[in-house]
Amino acid sequence: MKNHKAMVLALVLGALLLAACGPSAEAAIATGIAQTQRISALETAAADAGAVQATEAATPEPSAAAVVAPPALADAGDTSSNDNENNNNGGNEVNWTGTWTYLGTGGSDTSLVITQSGDNISGTFTENGETASFNASLSSNHQSASGSWSIPSGYAGTFQWQIQSGNTNQFVGIETTDFGQGVVCGSRSGAPRPSACGVGGNDSGGSTDTDWAGDWNTFYDDSTILVRITVSGNHLEGSFEHNGNIYSFSGTISSDGKRVSGNFNHFIVQFLWQIRSGNPAQFIGKIGYMGGAVGPWCGWRSGSSMPNPCQLP
């Protein structure tokens, strides 16, 4: 800016001298002015070039490390995270559907066919020689079932089943009928019977506190008859003669050995026995037919006496 003012001042002085000196001096001054303008243009161009270089120097080149690549697109075929979410079924790991070996209160194995639909199961099994149908609701984690069953002749019962801890191929439960409660269990094909049942099959069962095996005098159908019983683990079988006919039955012994629940073979008849408190040589019981009238069936060892009362409440 200072150089520009000096140049203007020089031009003014040159014009004054031109007026004083004449035409020859005027031509010389004109030539000087032209050269001065050319020099000024060159200086302006040089100044502009310097400013551009200074700006480029102030903006550094980005380094390779500073360059950020665009994010990669997710692979539409990768659904591993979705699979984990779909497999998280809230602990509902048990699927009851299939064919099971079922040991009911009658003490005999039967085929149990189960179909699961959501939080419910249904199916069939054999009870007292008839095909029983059942329906049940499952718990929130599908580990237990609670329902009822019935047979065409009208006999019915309720049950609660519980999958064994850590073993989805076994369940144990309680069945309730007019004659009381009994332990039941089930196992899938190839799986051993739950130890809670301890009856025959793949599990030899354990001992009980009461020895039911042997001969018992019993009061049955208003008559005194001799009953012969055999025991294997917690499984009981027996037979007797009455009015010229041979009857056989089987049952399940409770875990403490003091109760038996069972049914007659080939007849829709169930019974329940219980050892009298403090006297292992006597039992009281009841027997009924098709859920109808219930009568007494009690027993006593030789050398003992008939219990009074005879009928189990």
Single out the residue of 221, 209, 226 nearest to residue 300, CA to CA: 226
pLDDT tens-place string over residues 57-78: 444 444 433 333 333 323 333 3
Q: Under a CB-based contact definition with an 8 Å cutoff, are residues 252 and 235 in contact?
A: yes
What's the one-letter identity of residue 161? W
146: part of which helix (H) or strand (E)? strand 144-150
What separation in angstroms does the CA of 233 have from each of 51, 127, 157, 237, 259? Answer: 106, 22, 25, 11, 14
- Considering only CA atoms, which of 293, 290, 237, 285 is closest in space to residue 268? 290
Task: Measure the CA–CA gap between 234 and 180, rounded to whole angstroms.
Answer: 18
> What are the residues whose beta carbons fall under 8 Å from the beta carbon of 214, sequence distance 6 or more?
228, 229, 301
Q: For domain 214-300, give the fold.
A: Porin (2.40.160)
Q: Does position 299 have pLDDT exceeding 90, yes or no?
A: yes
Q: H/E element holding 210? A: none
Answer yes or no: are the C-beta atoms of 170 and 194 closer than 8 Å.
yes
Query: What is the DSSP-derived secondary structure letter of residue 209?
Result: S
Percent of the chain predicted with pLDDT > 90: 30
Residue 94 carries which side chain, given as an amino acid letter? V
Alpha carbon separation from 130 to 103, 152, 173, 287 (Å, rounded): 15, 8, 21, 19
Instruction: Read off the tokens for 240.
Output: 């007797």
- Whether the predicted pLDDT of 24 surpasses 90: no
Residue type at 60 in one-letter notation: P
Fold of 98-188: Lipocalin (2.40.128)
Beta bridge partners of 243: none
Highest mean pLDDT of the ranges 51-65, 204-218, 281-295: 281-295
Q: What is the pLDDT of residues 129-143, one digit of tens each?
A: 678 899 999 999 999
Which residue intervals of the chain are DSSP H helices?
Answer: 2-21, 23-58, 80-87
**Residue 138 near residue 212, CB atoms below 8 Å:** no
Q: Give the residue with greater pLDDT, 108 vs 117.
A: 117
| CA–CA distance, 218 with 225 (Å, rounded to integer) | 5
The mean of the pLDDT values for the chain is 73
**Phi, psi angles (nearest 5°) of residue 51:** -65, -40
**Across 272-285, average pLDDT:** 89
Three-state secondary structure call for residue 275: strand
CB atoms within 10 A of CB 261: 27
- Contact indicator for 295, 304 with CB cutoff of 8 Å: no
What are the phi and psi torsion angles at 15 (to 5°)? -65, -35
Q: Where are the domains of the chain?
A: 1-32, 98-188, 214-300
Confidence category of residue 196, pLDDT binned at 50, 70, 90: low
